[in-house]
Amino acid sequence: MAKKEKNCDPDDPADDRKGDTWDHVAILAESRLVVGVVPGERTAGSVVAVVEDFKRRTGGRLMDLITTDGYPAYEEAILQAYGETVTPPRTGKRGCPRASYKVAPEGLTYAVVEKAREKGRVVSIATRVVFGTMAAVIAALGMSKASRAINTSFVERQNGTDRHRNARKARKTYRFSKDWRYHESVTYLTMYVYNFCWPVRTLRIKDDQGRWRRRSPAMAAGLADHVWSIPEWLAFPSVRRS
């Protein structure tokens, strides 16, 4: 954004919001609903922000299965967000007591997809279970209506869709963002309009008359009963008063 990452000066505050910018996206695979997005640099802080935002929006309940790419910051962020605090008992010996720490609670199932690249191309893909057991992962995949494999393909597909919907993210064009505020605002706009106003082909279902009924991610998640128009979405109050 504004200029290439290699041309940014890390000691210049004016370059803090320039260069490479990532979308950290939390999505529900079965409904394709974008639950949260944090645009910004690829840092542990951005990862913590999207994990905490997802936890807040889902009421803190554990998901059947969480999957991410192999970026190491996700493991610590998920553990801090969902982990249970253990306080070691005092031993009665001299010295400071052991500090409290987090452990993964029963029911937290998290796996990662690690891709190896050579010259920009993926040459191998490996998966591993970080929290929980392989049996729990297999059970979650067995109940899933979206996939039978550990993957990140749904968020990757959504990233591709958003590139088409948000011209600022198109590759190798002059439409890239020059100002961080506008980039962030348009990112939120296209991501959340997608939830309510974009009928996803793979979410369509047949009605009682055998006709295909288009559905948006919000409809698949039970948040809407029809595909909204953009004016309808923009006019909907963000805070409703009783």
3-state SS, one letter per residue, for the chain? CCCCHHHCCCCCHHHCCCCCCEEEEEEECCCCEEEEEEEECCCHHHHHHHHHHHHHHCCCCCCCCEEEECCCHHHHHHHHHHCEEECCCCCCCCCCCCCCEEECCCCCCEEEEEEEEECCEEEEEEEEEEECCHHHHHHHHHHCCCCCCCCCHHHHHHHHHHHHHCHHHCCCCCCCCCCHHHHHHHHHHHHHHHHHHCCCHHHCEECCCCCEECCCHHHHCCCCCCCCCHHHHHHCCCCCCC
Identify whether the C-beta of residue 113 lies closer than 8 Å to the C-beta of residue 67. yes
Question: 132 exposed, middle or buried (CB, 10 Å; 0-12, 13-18, 19+)?
Answer: buried
What's the angle, vertex CA 203, arms to CA 216 and CA 135, rounded to 5? Answer: 120
Give the per-residue pLDDT at 2.
Answer: 64
For 159, the token pair is 């990233």
What does residue 131 show for φ and ψ, rounded to 5 degrees? Answer: -120, 140
CA-wise closest residue to 189 among 161, 165, 158, 169: 165
pLDDT tens-place string over residues 70-79 = 999 999 999 9
Distance, CA of 189 to CA of 230 (rounded, Å)? 10
Q: What is the pLDDT of residues 136-152, one digit of tens each?
A: 999 999 999 999 999 99
Against a cut of 0.85, is the pTM above it? yes
Q: Give the residues of the chain that fall short of pLDDT 50.
A: none
The alpha carbon of residue 27 and the mean position of all alpha carbons in its chain are separated, in whole angstroms, by 5
* pLDDT at position 79: 97
